[in-house]
Amino acid sequence: MTKGKKRNELLYFAFRNTKLKIGLGVVLFFIVLTFVGPLIAKYNPTDSVGPAGAPPSAQFWFGTTTFGEDVFSQFVHGLSSTFLVGIVGGGLGTILGMTIGFAAGYRGGNLDEVLNVLTNVVLTIPVLALLVVISAYVKVRGVMIESLFIGVTTWPWAARAIRAQTFSLKTRDFVDLARLSGESPVKIIFTEIAPNMASYLFMTFILMFGSAILTAATLDFLGLGPTQGISLGTMMNLAVLWSALMLGMWWWFIPPGIGITAIVGGLYIMNVGLDEIFNPKLREM
């Protein structure tokens, strides 16, 4: 089968796949909202602009907080830090996972042994507890620092998966051919191995993206999120801290949770769709 034909076929299945369409639709919706939201939102997210604890109304779509801040403005501004953590944290985790996975899988031998033990060690450490301890000591935290922490602690899962894939690819003819023609390992990895598992790497990134968002939400909820600015997790943190539960101010804590759940759930469903497209065996008949 020629390359063009194969791509056409993938697109053909992509357009037919309901899971991909739904998942991608939800994620795109929130991405658009991230960019358009701040333009629609009438208020600064941290300004006291209305009555305290007002339920949703025409003026304050998602109601207001105890301090009279507009929840909708907070929500759309919070979305951007959620996506930032996903891209940077998930991306960094994927890149580290790729580096270690490729090195271990392609080189094998002692390097593989060492990296494998390292991967398993970091995999066993309860990452969130570690992040909590680290974050607790850093007094000024930004979204980037948070993403960095998440990235450097969550790579092992990706490394394991990529290592296994590399292992099976490196014995294939075209890799042998490249090796015999004297190409360097780095070049072989990037020109022969990585392109042949591109779909797999992409799906790994999506999973890492989703889990980075969840991890960040938990950290933020524990009050260890960005010290300035707003995120969906800190919204939940403040809501609980200021007794939104007791006061029945559901509009304060429901939207951020729905936002996170929809984005991460959408990413996961999208991934199932992609899996079906790339693996013909899973396609529904």
Partner 1 sequence: MSLNIKNLTVYYQTLKGDVQALEHANLSIADGEIMGLAGESGCGKTTLSNSLILLKPPMKLISGTVELDGKPLPITDMARMDEYRFKKVSIIPQYAMNAMNPTRKIGKMIEELLHSRRVDYSTLRTELTRRLELVKLSPDILDMYPIELSGGMKQRMVMVLSTLLNPSLLLADEVTSALDVSSQKSVSEMLVEFRKREFVKSVVVITHDISILYQIADSIMIMYAGQLAEKASTETIIHRPLHPYTHLLISSLPKVGVRYAEKRLEGIPGNPPLLLNPPIGCRFRERCPMAFDKCVEEPPFEEIEEGHFVACWKEPKSYAQA
Partner 2 sequence: MAKYFRRKLLIYLLTFIIAVTVDWCIPRFMPGNPVDLIISRAGLKGSAVSQMYTFYMQAFGLDQPIWKQYLNFWIAIFHGDLGTSIFLFPSPVTKVILGAVPYDLALLIPAILTSWFAGNNFGAFAARSKRLDNTLLPLGYILTGTPYMWLGIVLAWAFGIAWRIFPIAGGYSFAMRPALTLPFIWSLFQHWFLPFASLFIVQFGGWAIGMRNLIIYELEADYSHYLAALGAPKRLVRKYAFQNAMLPQLTGLALQLGVIVAGALATEVVFSYPGIGYLILQAIHNEDYFLLQGCFLFVVIGVLLANFIIDITYVIVDPRTRAGMQGGAS
Q: Which residues bind partner 2 (CB under 8 A)?
A: 22, 117, 120-121, 123-130, 132-134, 136-139, 157, 210, 214-215, 217-218, 221-224, 233, 236, 239-240, 245-246, 248, 250, 253-254, 256-257, 260-269, 272, 281
d(CA 205, CA 284): 24
285 binds, among partner 1, partner 2, none (CB under 5 to 8 A by kind): partner 1
In sequence order, what DSSP letters do the residues of 23-91 get, joined into one string? HHHHHHHHHHHHHHHHHH--S-TTS--S-TTPPP-SSSTT-B-TT--BHHHHHHHHHHHHHHIIIIIHH
**Does residue 21 interact with partner 1 by CB under 8 A?**
no
Backbone angles phi, psi at 214, to 5 degrees: -65, -45
As measured in angstroms, the least distance from the Cβ of 2 to partner 2 is 28
**Does residue 278 interact with partner 1 by CB under 8 A?**
no
56 binds, among partner 2, partner 1, none (CB under 5 to 8 A by kind): none
Q: For partner 2, which is the closer residue by CB, 111 or 117? A: 117
CA distances from 108 to 44, 94, 180, 198, 201 (A): 54, 20, 18, 21, 20
* Contacts of 241 by beta carbon, 8 Å cutoff, 6+ apart: 223
Q: For partner 1, which is the closer residue by CB, 13 or 242? A: 13
253 touches 100 (CB < 8 A): no
As measured in angstroms, the least distance from the Cβ of 246 to partner 2 is 7
d(CA 160, CA 118): 11
As measured in angstroms, the least distance from the Cβ of 285 to partner 1 is 5
Q: For partner 2, which is the closer residue by CB, 1 or 285? A: 285
**Does residue 283 interact with partner 1 by CB under 8 A?**
yes
245 binds, among partner 2, partner 1, none (CB under 5 to 8 A by kind): partner 2
d(CA 226, CA 223): 9
51 touches 68 (CB < 8 A): yes
As measured in angstroms, the least distance from the Cβ of 137 to partner 1 is 48
The binder of partner 1 chosen from 10, 14, 16, 196 (CB under 8 A): 16
Question: Site residues (CB under 8 A) for partner 1?
Answer: 12-13, 16, 283, 285
